[in-house]
Chains A and B, each alone.
Chain A
Amino acid sequence: MELLPHLFRTEYSKIVAVLCHSYGLDHIEIAEDIASETFLKAAEVWSSKGLPPHPTAWLYTVAKNQTKDYFKRQAIFNNRVKGMLETETSHPVEAIEFTDALIADSQLAMIFSVCHPGNAPQSQICLALQILCGFSVEEIAGTFLTGTETIKKRLHRARTTLRNNQFQIRDLTETAIQSRLDTVLKTIYLLFNEGYFSRTGNQAIRKDLCSEAVRLAVLLAEHPITNTPQVNALLALLYFQSSRLDARINDQGEAILFNQQDKSSWNQGFIDKGNHFLILACQGNQLSKYHLEAAIAYWHTTPNDTDKWQHIFYLYDQLLLIDQSPMVALNRAFVVSKLWGQDKAIQEVEQLALHDNSHYHSLLGYLYAGINTTVAISHYNTAIALSKSRMEKQTLAKAIKQLQDTR
């Protein structure tokens, strides 16, 4: 029965998406009930009678029949109990065929419905994990290292926004897609980063989050109406980052700095895919934040170019003018150390004066390490106090220990 959890992850969200696509987003709870019942039935039947020859097709047939039964019961209820008073237009009980095309359209529509600009980023990711990726509340809580109650509240609020804001899931027009594409891409980007820079040390959860983000981006890239240069740029970025996922964490779940990563454990298959989508992203003259980040990630995967850091620095210059975030400013300052040495980089970083930012202090700790051990340790300690990530705290504590040992 190893297959069932796997199928749940891949097929549950598809069934919900198809049902919502056919009957409207306001029926999402019913759609989820039907999908859950389908999997309950699968667990029951498969354990007694064994696996059917085509498990996925089996699930779709059961979901289809469950839906028919549901509407039959609804019709009976409406006719007998409520009488003929209400002549509400009930949905025609036409059978849904789970074709590949319908599934693709439905999933796309679902992505666009779920990524509502009115939701806070954190709720957005929770909702995406639940509806688009089939994560349970417990799994989401594990991801965010919070209690299930917090997650339930977040999901409840996010779902209310969805319900109050009737987004038409059925006919996705090009204008609707263009207006929401930015939010969709941002959600996928955040989902990936949640895995990549995760608060949890659990490597399995992290990989799951990253691969789910890639899966959603692939869905967009494969669909003709969303196959834009920006989507390809994001996908390229995600593949480049994914190629280093295994190298970033050691067996103890600690982060390994870029310089110390075993480059042979970078995944060449993912790097090739990154290159492929980066080329596709360069059609047209759009230059998005994802283009620049993908280009930076590209240079990071090529270890032997002499001008590498110069290219990366120039890309960070351009990125800063699109995305004036502290993280980009700090990353750019790190590149200064590669090009012009520690002293110049320290100047650059201290100008930023981001005193409440843990990354600001950890970068200063790193830069001062060879110059002034006491100052370095003091910055590392401030970084530990400010950081919210257990893994980051561990990595920083290790850096302090190394400095103390060599003193």
Chain B
Amino acid sequence: MKDFLLIYRADYGVVANASPEEMQTRTQSWMDWIAGLAAQNKLTDRGSRLMPQGKIMKNEEIISDGPFAEIKESIMGYSVIKADSTEEAVQLSKGCPIFKVGGTVELREINAM
């Protein structure tokens, strides 16, 4: 079994402009999805959602506010799952709710060394 980091990206503009009911439904579908992975014993870390604001440090002096809320592909959150192969990890990621809001999933095998 290998661990894979899933990075969820989407457009904050789309995600933020949802009604409370839509928000509720989305939270629920995320929970369902994460729990589905846990049920199959494929979840290493449920991960977290990220706040829209943050900083980018080019070096120790040049620090700017991240334009995360404006760009179309900002990182919304992450999880870590278990799979035997990249193919299986892709298969497992097919039900991810991020696709419903036009977002993407980046899968990266974690280097255990």
A residues with a Cβ closer than 8 A to B are: 313-314, 316-318, 320-321, 324, 328-329, 332-333, 348, 351-353
Contacts and interface: CB of A to CB of B under 8 A. Distances in A.
In this complex, the member of B32, B38, B40 whose beta carbon has the largest number of chain A beta carbons within 10 angstroms is B38
A317 B40 contact: no
A324 B28 contact: no
Contact of A321 (B28, B40, B46): B46
A320 B35 contact: yes
Closest 8 pairs (CB-CB, A-B):
A317-B35, A329-B39, A317-B31, A320-B35, A320-B38, A324-B38, A351-B40, A320-B39
B36 interface: yes
Contacts of A324: 38-39, 41, 43
Given A314-B28, A321-B46, A333 B35 contact: no
A317 B41 contact: no
Interface string B36-78: 1011110100100000000000000000000000000000000
A328 B39 CA distance: 8
B100 to A, nearest CB: 16
20 contacts: A316-B35, A317-B31, A318-B31, A318-B35, A320-B35, A321-B35, A321-B46, A324-B38, A324-B41, A324-B43, A329-B38, A329-B40, A333-B39, A348-B36, A348-B39, A351-B36, A351-B39, A351-B40, A352-B40, A353-B40
B98 interface: no
B5 interface: no
A316 B41 CA distance: 15
Contacts of A314: 28, 31-32
Given A324-B43, A328-B39, A351-B39, 6 more contacts: A317-B32, A318-B35, A320-B35, A333-B39, A351-B36, A352-B39
A332 B35 contact: yes
B34 interface: yes
Contact of A313 (B32, B34, B38): B32
In this complex, the member of B32, B38, B39, B40 whose beta carbon has the largest number of chain A beta carbons within 10 angstroms is B39
Contacts of A321: 34-35, 38, 43, 46
Contacts of A320: 35, 38-39
Interface string B4-20: 00000000000000000
A318 to B, nearest CB: 7
A334 to B, nearest CB: 12
Contacts of B39: 320, 324, 328-329, 332-333, 348, 351-352
A317 B28 CA distance: 9
